[in-house]
Amino acid sequence: MSLPVGRDIESVCTLRPLTTADLDGISRVHRRACRIAYRFMGWSYTLDEVQRWYAGKISEWDWARVVTVDGAIVGFLAAIGAHVDQLFVDPDHQGAGLGRLLLEAMLERRPGPITLHVFADNHAARRCYERIGFRPVESFWNAQDEALSLVYRLDQNSTP
């Protein structure tokens, strides 16, 4: 299904709270997105590995939403306080504004500033975040993933 871009996206999708029953759906989105976005680091986890990892993370989140199209999860955002811990959109649905929709929902709940981490080599995600108004504020070496990570920050008054 080809999604409309921008504000019209809201007419074909549903935004709802993420629950433990969504573990399979968010794991599938995560895996599909990471296999493309993290090619630079040889990312190759199995669906089972991703599901086990998320099973241990869900309890850390104090706010999370999924976006669905025709009942299928196509994106999600999970936060710990004012930090976006996870934000992924299925590659087949990227570019339609789902990431913006999820971030705007978080800002309604918790006005900025909000932060997130993104790998320096994840250029598509960085472009998305920067269009929304995020700016890099620091960097660090992520030893676990052996990649440079950037900390991005968005102040409420900087959203376009």
pLDDT tens-digit series, residues 29-56 = 999 999 998 888 888 899 999 999 999 9
Place of tokens 């989140």: 61
pTM: 0.89
Q: 87-126: per-residue pLDDT in tens?
A: 999 999 999 999 999 999 998 887 779 999 999 999 989 9
Domains and CATH numbers, the chain: 6-158 (3.40.630.30)
The whole-angstrom separation of Cα 28 and Cα 33 is: 9
Distance from C-alpha of 20 to C-alpha of 57, rounded to nearest angstrom: 10
